[in-house]
Amino acid sequence: MPQLSSKITDALNLQINRELSAAYSYLAMSAWADTQNLAGAASWLRQQWQEELGHATKLIDYMAERDGKIVLSAIPQPTATFSSLLNLFESVLAQEKAVTEAIYGIYDLAVEEKDYAAQGLLQWYVNEQVEEENSASEIISLLKIGGGEGSGLLMVDRQLASRSGGQ
Ligand code: FEO
């Protein structure tokens, strides 16, 4: 397996930072949900935090396999306050859409550089992003339909509590 090109190395290092930034952001979101007594949302967001750590680790492991130089850069302070759970999940969707765009950019680069192996890895992220955007959109719809407050909000929170597993 050829060593990673320097362009792809830089792009993957940047993506590791994006995944870790997303993780950090979910952790802040989870803490906010806790302060609002939304235990289900807090737990859902905690799980998402772990998923994002997994996404970063998968990239790190891949780079190590291909002798790429791993560079961990600073993670920005995440947004910690939200006007509502709907507002929070709108931020989740925006964040995931930005990650999707970034993945597409790296995929394009891997195509340009004829790095077929990296394309294989990135395809996994492309699929994962479909799921992530979809679940954020579904929660936004639930909050819009069921009402973002009172008993409607509690119902959505209970539904979020039932999330299990993940990758
Ligand atoms: Fe790893 Fe939610 O992007």
User: Based on the structure, what is the number of domains in the chain?
Assistant: 1
CA of 110 to the centre of ligand 1 (A): 19
- Alpha carbon 162 to its chain centroid, in Å, reads 19
Domain holding 49: CATH number?
A: 1.20.1260.10
* In-domain check, residue 166: no
* In-domain check, residue 38: yes
Question: Which ligand 1 atom is nearest residue 132's CA?
Answer: 2
Pocket lined around ligand 1, Cβ cut-off 6 Å: 19, 22, 52, 55, 96, 99, 132
* In-domain check, residue 1: no
Tell me what pLDDT residue 167 has.
Answer: 38
Tell me what pLDDT residue 165 has.
Answer: 56
Give the domain range for residue 68: 6-161
* In-domain check, residue 57: yes
Report the chain (167 residues): mean pLDDT per 10 consecutive residues: 91 98 98 97 98 98 96 97 97 98 98 97 97 96 85 92 68
* In-domain check, residue 89: yes
93 three-state secondary structure: helix
* In-domain check, residue 82: yes
CA of 142 to the centre of ligand 1 (A): 21
